[in-house]
Each structure stands twice: as structure tokens, then as C-alpha cells.
């Protein structure tokens, strides 16, 4: 068994989310799921997610078939002309791991002058956001269904983004899974390099140890400057996300962090 297979099995045995909701509860549940995840796991890098089959509802399937060709950008992409994909040149904000896309759609509707590129790996979430795009008639959202790390490496140009939203990334609470967390120095350096000067990186989490890691890693990135003295107040425009509501219902606190790219 290779190390990456071990990693994949490791991740398959525990949801990054359930672990945070109830640390005490081990969730080694589903042998079939473990097999599938191992088969689908990429070989060369520790990933921040585990691919699960998840049920795709009928409405989501309809949205994937009907709206996917227009709003989901092709991947793998050697190059995508994002201005052409959005049909205009506007300040661009990327959301990493939008989940079911409820917050994405709310923000995109409230900020029609900005374009939003949502990155998510799970098909049901992509279908759910497509549904919202269709219902609300949102012209300023596009989706890439792929690993955000590779999208940042291969698709997004240095200095090109007005903002990045990383709201409630999987907390991976167990120590042996911390390597799967997205907020680590190399990825934060990559994110910062894709921001335009003055552009912002907005993170939020309901998992205190991860909030502390975020604060430490972001503060140590030379390209970034903290807009607050420590954690930031939640900006009024940031909607509650689905995952956040779940955390709040469990009595969790929430920490926001807003950093800007230095000029
Ligand atoms: C804990 S959920 C939060 C979802 C949403 N932001 C919310 O607050 O409701 C984290 C999401 O990030 C996605 N994700 C994790 N790693 C990712 C990656 N490398 N690229 C794209 N999406 C990722 C997962 O599939 C999952 O839907």
C-alpha cells in the first residue's frame, strides 16, 4: 500500500466535517465508501477533500444537464479566457469550496458588478448552485468542478483577483489529518500571489484550533496584511453559510479573518 493510498483510506474513514462537529465520535463507517475513495484518490498529493458519491437530487441533475454547459467551465483546462467565459471584464472573486452554494448565490445577487468563480469538487453542490443560478437569473457566476489548489496553480493568473472567499473549509480536526487543511503556508502564498494589490482574502471557520492556525499562517505571509487587529468582525455582507448554521446550532463560535494583499 503506497503512502498516498494510506492517506486516501485515512481520509475516507473520517469525514472532515463530522469530525469537527463531534470530535469524540469516530466515524469509520462505510467500507464500500472507503474503497471508492481510495480508487478515486489522486496519487501525488495530499488532498483537502475526500470524494464521496453523495446523492444528486433530480432538480440538481436537471440543473447540471441544462445549465452546466453554460455555467460550468471545462476542466482540465490548458487555458480558459475568463473574460470570454463571463462575457465581460469585471473584478473577479473566487470562492473555494462553496458547498451547496447558498452563500455564493446570495453574494453574487447582491454584488452584480463583480464576477464570482466558484470552486467545488462535489457534484451535488455544483448542481445545487446551478439551480440557484437558474432560479435567481445570475449572470455573474461560473463554476469549476475541480480541486482549488490546481485551479489556482493552472488557471488563475498572478495578480488577477479582487478577492478570495474561503468560508468554512473542512477543519480536519484530528492531528493526523491536519496536513489536509487548506490553510497552510504554501497554499496561502499561492492565494496571495493571485490577488491584485489591495485584493482581499476572507477566511471564516467555526473551529477554534483552525482559526488559530489561520491567524498564524496568514500573519506570517509577507504578501498579506491583516485588516484587523487579530480576528475581524463578520462583514455585514457575508451571509451565513449552510455549514456555519450547523456549527452555530451546535453552539460553536465563528472567527472571520480578512487580509489584503500589500501594494
Ligand atoms: C465544510 S464544507 C463548507 C461548505 C460551504 N463553504 C459552507 O460554509 O457551507 C467545505 C467544502 O469545501 C469543499 N472542498 C474541500 N477541499 C476543496 C478543494 N481543494 N477544492 C474545491 N473544493 C474543496 C468540500 O467539497 C466541501 O463542500
Please say if 83 is a catalytic residue: no
> Domain boundaries in the chain?
1-33+157-181+195-263, 57-151
Q: What is the pLDDT of residues 6-45, one digit of tens each?
A: 233 333 334 454 433 333 233 233 333 222 233 334 457 8
- Name which residue sits closest to atom 4 of ligand 1, judged by CA: 99
What distance in angstroms lies between residue 124's CA and the mean position of ligand 1's atoms?
A: 12
What distance in angstroms lies between residue 182's CA and the mean position of ligand 1's atoms?
A: 10
Q: Ligand 1: does its nearest atom lie under 6 Å from the Cβ of 99? A: yes
What would the mean pLDDT of 104-133 be, rounded to a whole number? Answer: 98
Q: Lowest-confidence range among 72-81, 94-103, 155-164, 166-175?
A: 72-81
Q: Ligand 1: does its nearest atom lie under 6 Å from the Cβ of 190? A: no
Given the candidates 1.10.268.10, 3.40.50.150, 3.40.50.300, 3.40.50.10470, the CATH classification of the domain at 1-33+157-181+195-263 is 3.40.50.150
What distance in angstroms lies between residue 96's CA and the mean position of ligand 1's atoms?
A: 7
Q: Does position 4 have pLDDT exceeding 60, yes or no?
A: no
pLDDT confidence of residue 51: 83
57-151 matches 1-33+157-181+195-263 in CATH topology? yes
Instruction: Tell me the pLDDT of the chain averaged across its residues.
Output: 86
Percent of the chain with pLDDT over 70: 84
Q: Among the options 7, 170, 206, 256, which is catalytic?
A: 170
What would the mean pLDDT of 138-160 be, rounded to a whole number? Answer: 97
What's the whole-model pTM score?
0.87
Q: What is the pLDDT of residues 168-177, one digit of tens each?
A: 999 999 999 9
Class of 57-151 per CATH?
A: alpha beta
Query: Does 3 or 81 have the greater pLDDT score?
Result: 81
- Name which residue sits closest to atom 7 of ligand 1, judged by CA: 243
Return the HEC string of 159-182: CCEEEEEEECCCCCCCHHHHHHCC
Q: Ligand 1: does its nearest atom lie under 6 Å from the Cβ of 241? A: yes
Q: What is the pLDDT of residues 175-186, one digit of tens each?
A: 999 999 999 999
Amino acid at each position: 500500500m503506497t503512502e498516498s493510498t494510506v492517506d486516501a483510506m485515512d481520509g475516507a474513514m473520517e469525514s472532515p466535517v463530522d469530525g469537527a462537529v463531534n470530535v469524540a465520535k469516530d466515524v469509520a463507517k462505510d467500507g464500500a465508501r472507503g474503497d471508492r475513495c481510495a480508487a478515486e484518490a489522486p496519487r501525488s498529493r495530499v488532498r483537502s477533500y475526500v470524494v464521496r458519491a453523495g446523492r444528486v437530487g433530480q432538480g440538481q441533475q436537471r440543473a447540471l444537464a441544462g445549465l452546466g454547459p453554460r455555467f460550468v467551465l471545462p476542466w482540465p483546462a490548458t487555458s480558459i479566457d475568463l473574460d470570454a467565459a463571463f462575457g465581460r471584464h469585471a473584478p473577479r472573486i473566487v470562492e473555494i469550496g462553496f458547498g451547496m452554494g447558498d452563500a455564493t448565490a446570495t453574494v453574487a445577487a447582491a454584488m452584480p458588478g463583480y464576477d464570482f468563480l466558484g470552486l467545488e469538487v462535489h457534484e451535488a453542490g455544483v448542481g445545487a448552485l446551478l439551480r440557484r443560478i437558474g432560479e435567481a437569473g445570475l449572470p455573474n457566476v461560473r463554476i469549476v468542478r475541480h480541486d482549488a489548489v490546481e485551479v489556482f496553480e493552472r488557471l488563475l493568473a498572478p495578480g488577477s483577483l479582487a478577492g478570495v472567499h474561503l468560508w468554512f473549509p473542512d477543519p480536519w480536526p484530528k492531528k493526523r489529518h491536519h496536513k489536509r487543511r487548506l490553510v497552510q503556508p504554501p497554499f496561502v502564498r499561492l492565494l496571495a500571489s493571485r490577488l491584485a494589490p489591495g485584493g482581499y482574502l476572507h477566511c471564516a471557520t467555526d473551529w477554534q484550533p483552525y482559526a488559530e492556525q489561520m491567524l498564524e499562517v496568514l500573519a506570517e505571509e509577507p504578501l498579506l496584511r491583516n485588516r484587523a487587529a487579530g480576528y475581524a468582525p463578520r462583514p455585514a455582507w457575508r451571509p451565513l453559510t449552510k455549514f456555519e448554521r450547523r456549527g452555530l446550532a451546535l453552539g460553536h463560535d465563528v472567527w472571520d479573518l480578512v487580509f489584503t494583499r500589500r501594494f
